[in-house]
Amino acid sequence: GQQVMQIPQYQHVQEGEDFTTYCNSSTTLSNIQWYKQRPGGHPVFLIQLVKSGEVKKQKRLTFQFGEAKKNSSLHITATQTTDVGTYFCAGPMNNNAGNMLTFGGGTRLMVKP
């Protein structure tokens, strides 16, 4: 079936180091969304990318959507302890019953102070 895959599954970094998570889809996506879930919390929407090759920045976070609209990445510059959490990408996929937002497995970021 159609899938969204994320790597790595886990990442430990020292505070101040950079971090990147990658998202790959088995199909071309009309858009990709990124969410962050803090430990014990719920997913919170970060951003949506729609255009091929699109790059968006939110302070220390940089989001990219691939040219083929099948992959995306989230890069955090100079991580802080407040960045701790699991980052999910999600894209619309069809399961024969209709379209639904399908989430990747997530990348859990741990930051050592």
Chain residues 44-103 in contact with other proteins, contact rule CB under 8 A: 44-45, 48, 88, 90, 92-93, 95, 97-103
Nearest alpha-carbon partner for 42 in 4, 7, 85: 85
Output 14 or 96, the one with its CB closest to other proteins: 96
- Under rule CB under 8 A, which residues in 6-45 are in contact with other proteins? 30-31, 33, 35, 41-45
Give the separation between CA 38 and CA 100, rounded to whole angstroms: 23
CB of 68 to other proteins, least distance (A): 19
CA distances to 16, 35, 56, 67, 70 from 95, rounded to whole Å, are 41, 22, 29, 24, 17
> For residue 41, what are its two tokens?
């919390």
For other proteins, the binding residues (CB under 8 A) are: 30-31, 33, 35, 41-45, 48, 88, 90, 92-93, 95, 97-106
